[in-house]
């Protein structure tokens, strides 16, 4: 290699002139800037190379580092994050992050929908949505958060109600992960919220039907049996056991 032009042509092929201009524009920045370029190897692979330069009394020193794997990891991470966000959107799950020291709260769009906010971006701290909690649940929620803040708790699992402006009451399920520094101080929390109102209503209705059904059968003094064919499991009520002499 005789000169810098030949060096760039070998490394950067058709992009040699562009890369050279970029290099000249950043020359002498004393390692304060970094330029990422695509380098084509002899085998035809494209590598992401970071280069910096420094002028010294004995000449110019170049620093080069292969960051191909780092860029691949970033792309994979971005892909995973995109898939994760799509999953959250599809399942209507709210995602939130709370930075404790700054009291900075970040919500995804689903959180605003769950809590009945018409405008996105209006929540940035805990107090911004505290009034959305059901009045009967605010004290318990505050106590739970204080417990996490003051104790070495890694995971948070809770359920509570929210009261929307139109009077609708929702039951919310919440899970969260606590992140602490080396001294054990809580730094941030990341969690998920989702609406379980319909699920809770169905379970409540199911329990009521079962109780009513049992009451009717007991009142009629009837024997009842239930046979699960798949598991070959037979269940008898008390009256059926009595009739059969068990």
Cβ neighbourhood burial of 229 (10 Å; 0-12, 13-18, 19+): exposed
Confidence at residue 220, expressed as pLDDT on a 0 to 100 scale = 59
Task: Examine the pLDDT at 219 and tell me if it is beyond 80.
Answer: no
Q: What is the mean pLDDT of the chain?
A: 76
Task: Examine the pLDDT at 172 and tell me if it is beyond 50.
Answer: yes
Q: What's the number of CA atoms in the CB half-sphere (13 Å) around residue 210?
A: 6
Least confident of 60-69, 105-114, 170-179, 203-212: 203-212
Task: Examine the pLDDT at 216 and tell me if it is beyond 60.
Answer: no
Three-state DSSP class for residue 96: strand
- Tens-place pLDDT, residues 21-62: 776 776 666 655 566 777 777 777 777 777 766 666 666 666
Name the pLDDT band for 4 (thresholds 50, 70, 90).
low
State residue 192 phi and psi, 5-degree precision.
-125, 145
Task: Examine the pLDDT at 80 and tell me if it is beyond 50.
Answer: no
- Tens-place pLDDT, residues 11-24: 666 777 777 777 67
Closest Cα to residue 94, out of 109, 78, 80, 116? 109
Task: Examine the pLDDT at 116 and tell me if it is beyond 80.
Answer: yes
Q: How many CB atoms lie within 10 A of CB 176?
A: 20
Q: What is the pTM of this model?
A: 0.51
Determine the Cα–Cα distance for residues 107 and 77; give it in Å rounded to an integer.
Answer: 20
Determine the Cα–Cα distance for residues 230 and 233; give it in Å rounded to an integer.
Answer: 8
Is residue 223 within 8 Å of residue 243, measured between CB atoms? yes
Q: Supply the DSSP symbol for 156.
A: E
């Amino acid at each position: 290699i005789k000169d810098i032009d030949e060096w760039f042509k070998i490394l950067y092929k058709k992009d040699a002139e562009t890369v050279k201009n970029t290099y000249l524009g950043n020359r002498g920045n004393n390692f304060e800037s970094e330029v990422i370029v695509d380098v084509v190897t002899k085998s035809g692979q494209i590598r992401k190379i970071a280069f910096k330069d420094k002028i010294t009394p004995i000449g110019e020193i170049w620093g080069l580092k292969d960051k191909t794997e780092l860029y691949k990891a970033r792309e994979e991470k971005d892909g995973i994050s995109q898939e994760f966000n799509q999953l959250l959107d599809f399942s209507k799950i709210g995602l939130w992050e709370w930075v404790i020291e700054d009291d900075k709260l970040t919500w995804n769009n689903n959180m605003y929908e769950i809590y009945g906010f018409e405008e996105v971006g209006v929540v940035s701290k805990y107090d911004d949505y505290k009034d959305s909690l059901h009045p009967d649940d605010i004290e318990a929620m505050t106590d739970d958060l204080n417990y996490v803040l003051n104790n070495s708790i890694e995971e948070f699992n809770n359920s509570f109600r929210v009261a929307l402006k139109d009077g609708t009451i929702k039951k919310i399920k919440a899970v969260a992960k606590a992140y602490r520094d080396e001294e054990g101080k809580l730094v941030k929390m990341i969690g998920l919220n989702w609406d379980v109102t319909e699920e809770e209503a169905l379970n409540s209705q199911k329990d009521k039907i079962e109780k009513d059904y049992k009451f009717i059968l007991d009142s009629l003094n009837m024997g009842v049996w239930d046979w699960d064919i798949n598991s070959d499991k037979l269940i008898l009520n008390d009256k059926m056991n009595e009739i059969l002499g068990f």
